[in-house]
Structure 1
């Protein structure tokens, strides 16, 4: 007699799904070359510092981040933009009046609770 549940059982389907997950997501990452992670160009701009000391090598050599010839620096526009953002998003002093607290509390909905209850009648 054939089993009632069908051709495959649930544990077998879960095991097969897990095997496919490992095959498609984790296994290909093992075969990636490590030199693809570097940010240097492949045009041979590294000079004779490539693999084996050959001029114009296709694989760039490893360099430390501190030895970069183009350091990143902020411009005056970047600094003024950051200051404007900090000023616009700073926490202000809490309100001292009930109306001030109400303005903070109401958020998107400008109507009071009494007005909303009146709308339902």
Structure 2
């Protein structure tokens, strides 16, 4: 009986640990200072990740640049400059045709999907 209670208490503590600490650990992995720096400097991100696609010199730097590029490609900014930035980074991180990328941006930025990025759909 004592062993059963000990196992139940230990199991409960482990579950609570995962509920409390694991989300913050994963959040920190997505939002490191280096990734945030790259997000705030998109031209540097583009240059760094483009170089990383050709040759990896520093894995951590390439990972940070890649994470920032993905974040910039998935941005919610649907202004003209935001759309241009989304298109630029989607081309960099995705292996898709331009039409597919444009369709993704249209779906993200135009809720009723009756327009294209240029004008009305026919």
Shared fold by TM > 0.5?
no
Choose between structure 1 and 2 for higher RCO, CA contacts under 8 A separated by at least 6 residues.
Answer: 2
Which structure has greater helix proportion? 2
- Give TM-score, length-normalised by structure 2: 0.28
Larger radius of gyration: 1
